[in-house]
Amino acid sequence: MECCREIWPLFGSKGQAAHQDFEYIHHEPNTMIAVSIAMEKNDEENGYLGVIPGSHKLGPLPHGKVKNILEHADWTMETEGVDLTAEIPVVLEKGDILFFHSLLVHSSTLNKTKDRFRRSYVCHYIRHDSNITLRKDLKRKIDLY
């Protein structure tokens, strides 16, 4: 039974459906930027980050229920009104850093490996004069200076 617990977080871990971070953290004016730091290699096998180049220029898009629950966690929301086939993989080596706009449509995929994690550290920055709406848990502001 021990080995099953070790394998569970790896093989079969679902990704997050294509979305814009703005959908989860509404704020005005929109100043959020996301940072993803690869703690190990993230590739097509262990659940890469996929992006749709230029999709941030489309503005906030509607989001709905996840369509592929075999690939994506059912708690996530999925972007509607954009061509998801335009998504390209972003392969990150351990230590690589990716910065992206809060409106960039992006997703992650199912981990197909039996011996590799896809750990990454993700952080979001919102300018101090932006007001966060809907999420009371994010209303506290922390000065960085």
pLDDT at 1: 34
pLDDT in tens, 23-80: 989 999 999 999 999 999 999 888 889 999 999 999 999 999 999 888 888 888 999 9
SS3 51: strand
pLDDT at 11: 57
pLDDT over 70 at 135, yes or no: yes
pLDDT over 50 at 88, yes or no: yes
Query: Alpha-carbon distance 16 to 87, whole Å?
Result: 14
Q: Give the dihedral of Cα atoms 62, 63, 64, 70; nearest 10 deg.
A: 140
Name the pTM for this structure.
0.84
SS3 107: strand
Helix extents (H) in 26-90: none
User: Lowest mean pLDDT: which of 10-14, 95-99, 133-137?
Assistant: 10-14
Report all structural domains of the chain as residue ranges with CATH numbers, in order of start: 2-127 (2.60.120.620)
SS3 31: coil
